Each structure stands twice: as C-alpha cells, then as structure tokens.
Chains A and B, each alone.
Chain A
Amino acid sequence: MVIILNGSERRKHPDHFERLFRLRYRVFVKQRGWSLPAMNNREIDQYDDDDAVYFLDLDDEENIQGTVRMTPTVKSSLLADYFPHLVESGHSPRSQRIYEATRYIVLPSQKSREALRLAKGRLLTVLLEWCLDKRLSHLQTVIDAGTLSSFVEITQQTMPLGLPHPYGGGRGTPGGGECMAFRWPISLQVLDDVRAYAGLAGPMSRFGEFGRPDRGSPRAPLH
C-alpha cells in the first residue's frame, strides 16, 4: 500500500520517518557512496522540510518497498540549486506548477523482476494520480543517464531537459557517472502509460478517479 505523508507530519508519524531516513542512509550513503549530510545512520537534507511530500510503499510489516520525495520547485529544487547546467532547453527549473522528485528508491521485499515492476508501478501510479490532483503541469527529476531508457520505455512523453553530463564519482561510480534531467507532463496520457506499465486497470489511491474512461476531465481538488 502506498501512503502519502507531508513533511509537516513528521511528529505524527515518527516510525515511518525513522524507517525512511534510515533506508535512505543505507541506499544513498552506504551503497551508492553519495556524499550527503548524514547523522546517526539517518540521511536528512535541507529539502526535508514541511513542504516536502513523501510517497511510501509499505508491505504488510510496514517495511518500505519504495519511496520518492516530492518538493515544490519554487522553494526546493536540487536541479536549480546544484545541477542548473543540466537544463539546456532554456526552461526554468522552478515553477509553481512543477514538483521535483528526489530520493527515489524501489526495493521490493521479494527479489524478482516482476516484483520490481509491480513496486515501481504502484509508486509511480500513485505519484501521477497525486500530481494530477494537485493540477501540476510537470514533474521533473535528475537521474543517472543510464536509467533514461527505463523511463522512456514507460512513457514516450519523457522529455529530456538536456544532454547527459558527467558528475563526480562516489564509490559506486568510479571515475564519475553521468546524470541528466527530464520532465514528465502531468497528463492522463502519462497516467495511462504508467498504469499500463504497472499492469493496473483502475485507480491506486483516493486521488485516482482521474483517467477513468467515463471521466473527461479531473474533478475539483480534494483538499
């Protein structure tokens, strides 16, 4: 089940956040060797504030199988702050209607390609449903260039903002790797593509009324 938590709810859900920050430490600091601010085996940075929105895919034991953090680009954008050179298209990386996805992890309890697809599909579907509900125009993210193909395969609407650029290497990327930025337009088409990839016919979340064949346009926001 995918739950959505606001950064302002950190006190209300201490267990979920504790697990999240520890998982992020394990994946990004220990495994990938990124140099990130870390304390007591938790990875928390300046974008983990009240405006951040967290998507957590939990298994029956409430272990996190997948997660992504969404931040409003007007205030918090990794792309604008650290990787502005990745935007070659001339688009502004900050906009009221654009959120940025960071700290993306998919780690299903069961290790198989199928489980990975399902976990990724669940997370991305709820993410898209939420974006439609928020009436966003785009979501954007910085990725390892090697993963571009997997996003293009999910939806043809994947728009690169520039070419891959080298970035300094952590332990996992000796001599450095290549990163780039892309955007997804927030549309029923992309939601359909993501659902098709996930093998889902219907909505995943309470936001998921969108894209049902009998609905022409999204209804008024729920909150």
Chain B
Amino acid sequence: MSFMGDEYGKRTLDFVQRIQGLTNYEEICPVIMQELAWFGFSCVTSFSIPGPGCHLKDSIWLNNRPAEYVDRYAEKNYVIHDPVLKELRRTMNPYSWGDIREGRDLKKSERTIIDEGREFGAYDGLVIPIVNLTGSISLFSPCGRDPDLSPRARAALEVIGIYSHHALTRALVRRQREEVVHTPLTPREREIMQWVAIGKTDEEIAGILSISMTTVTSHVENAKQKLDAFRRTYAVVQAIRLGEISL
C-alpha cells in the first residue's frame, strides 16, 4: 500500500490510527495538541453545549485556553452572546472566526468577545460542530496566532476534530466508570481470586483450601459479580486494578 494524498491526508490518517489505539485520557491529549500544533494551533477547547440547568464548566472535555479567559467567558455568559457560537443556528459545517468577522455585521460587543482571544495569542480559530447521537451538540474549537485554514487544512481538521472529540469523551466515560466504587471482596473471596489469578481451576482451589468445589465456584461467581466481570480473566484484571489482589 502506498500513500497517494498530500501531507494533509497522510497526517490525518496517521493521526486517526494513532488515536484509535489509545484509551487513556492522559495519552490522548498530547497527541491531539501535537497534531494541532502542526497546523499552527496553540490552544483548543473541546466541549458540549450545556443543556438547561447545566454549567459549561462541567461539559469541557479538553481545554488549554488560560483559566482567567475561561472564567470570564463563563462568568459573563458569553456562551449566549458569542457570535462564533451564534453561527451554530445557521450551520453544522465547520467555520472559522474569520468567516464570522468577514461574513457578518457584528456589534461592537460581539467583536469584543472574539478579540479577547488575542490576550492569549489567538487571532483566529476554527469551530467544528459535532452532533452527538443523543442530539446534543459538541464543539471542537482550536485557535492560534496564524493557523493554517486552507481548504485542505479545514478538511483535515474536521476529521481530526471528530476523532479527537470521540476519543476524549470515550476515555472520560471509561474513567468515570472505573471510579465507581465497587463492593469490596470478602477475605475468602480475595484469597480465592488470588488462586484464580495464578491459573488454578476451581477444582484445584477446592483441593488446596480443603473445601468443596461448589463453594469455590460460588465464591468466584460472587467475586465476578462484585467486580462487574463476566469471565474470570476479566475478574482477575479488575481485582488487580482495584487493589483487591496483587501479583
């Protein structure tokens, strides 16, 4: 297989492959930032438009715009007045801040919101709207001093934004699930899982502990349930991850 496209296509397909292999939030973020840097973006905010009663700050998936800027943005409720976001009422296709500045007659207050990005060196940016399967809308929005916003770059960034958004939300949902407190194992279950971890069958464990095999099986089944595992292999992985047993 030989690659036929230009640098934009090549980089983007490489990026997609790299990000598909990552599940850790901490690993995903630098890969995204590094890719955006190639296009001349220094900052990115990836967030979902908050639903009624929800706060913007709770629906940010990745952000490295300065905290003061984000605080002020949230405090002044710019999310409602920002002309860059208002554009979402007209289109779900990607657009740049420059498209809005040039294409629309902006009020002074609206221009101010865009211009405040200059405080941290962001003169232009791209907004990539993403409609989620639940119907909610998310934005992937990188910005920088003089980013590449050529048609090919925009096409590449649309793909990069979509994959980044889904990788980030997947990783965060996964982490949340793992943080859910599990019911701790009993000492006996822990002891038995320790034997399971080194590959003993229920029958062997029964022999070692001088108890019946049905008792062992029932302990293992209880442990599996507590560890949210269908199979014993995964139960062992979970038990190690949650610190119930060690190797």
Contact = CB atoms under 8 A, between A and B. Distances in A.
B98 interface: no
Interface string B205-228: 000000000000000000000000
A157 interface: yes
Contacts of A203: none
A89 interface: yes
B162 A90 contact: no
Interface stretch (A47-55, A97-105, A145-153): A145-153
15 contacts: A88-B13, A89-B1, A91-B1, A113-B134, A113-B135, A145-B158, A148-B158, A150-B133, A156-B170, A160-B159, A162-B9, A163-B158, A164-B158, A180-B159, A213-B231
A200 interface: no
B156 A163 contact: yes
Contacts of A19: none
Contacts of A213: 230-231
B166 interface: yes
B163 A152 contact: yes
Contacts, number: 76
Interface residues of B, number: 34
Nearest to A213: B230
Given A89-B13, A146-B92, A213-B230, A164 B159 contact: yes
A178 B133 contact: no
A145 B155 CA distance: 9
Given A88-B3, A146-B92, A149-B162, 5 more contacts: A87-B4, A146-B93, A152-B162, A163-B155, A163-B159
B155 A164 contact: yes
B20 interface: yes
Contacts of B134: 113
A209 B184 CA distance: 36
B156 A90 contact: no
A117 interface: yes
Contacts of B163: 152
